[in-house]
Amino acid sequence: MAEIGRMLSRIFLWTHERGSWQYDVAVVVIVAFVLLTPSEWFRDQPSVGDPAAASHIRLVSGDRGGEQVYQVDARVLAPPERTPQLQNQLHGALQKTLPDLRGGRFEISKIEAVRDELGTVIAYQVTIRRK
């Protein structure tokens, strides 16, 4: 029993010499873990990209002096570093997702971040004006 404990401690403390069979087995186990682990086990990355459905964008309020307010889920956008990039991404997401905005021209007049109780941006309130 002590020999098994000593063998496990040598494996976990990585004390085997390179080229030994124990070292090779440990490397194979590590490589197999990296290559065979399902990506669903690690959910630390935000899902980013174009909206998959119109459910990510919803109309909050209709025509108010020629303006409409939409709420865009923050997960469909890459984290912006500057406001012009955010505005371009929001414009593109609205234009690609909503059929009535595809052909028409519009401008974004106001962007407000919607935050959860921890302060994380979960969506954007986007006020648009049709041209």
Mean pLDDT of the residues in the chain: 77
Q: Do residue 17 and residue 79 come from a single domain?
A: no
pLDDT at residue number 13: 79
Global pTM value: 0.47
Residue 71 scores a pLDDT above 90: no
Q: Do residue 61 and residue 117 come from a single domain?
A: yes
Residue 92 scores a pLDDT above 90: no
Residue 89 scores a pLDDT above 60: yes
Residue 1 scores a pLDDT above 70: yes
Q: Name every residue whose Cβ is closer than 8 Å to that of residue 101 and which is 6 or more positions away in sequence.
A: 94, 95, 128
Q: Do residue 63 and residue 36 come from a single domain?
A: no
Three-class secondary structure of residue 128 per DSSP: strand
pLDDT at residue number 52: 47
Q: What domain range includes position 67?
A: 54-130
Q: Do residue 58 and residue 19 come from a single domain?
A: no
Cα 12 to Cα 16, 26, 87, distances in angstroms: 10, 9, 50
CATH of the domain at 118: 3.30.70
Q: Is residue 47 part of a domain?
A: no
pLDDT: which is higher, 31 or 105: 31
Q: Do residue 71 and residue 120 come from a single domain?
A: yes
Extended strands (E) in 41-105: 57-61, 67-73
Tell me the pLDDT tens digit for each residue of 9-59: 877 777 778 888 888 888 898 999 989 988 777 766 555 555 445 567 777
Give the number of domains in the chain. Answer: 2
Q: Do residue 34 and residue 60 come from a single domain?
A: no
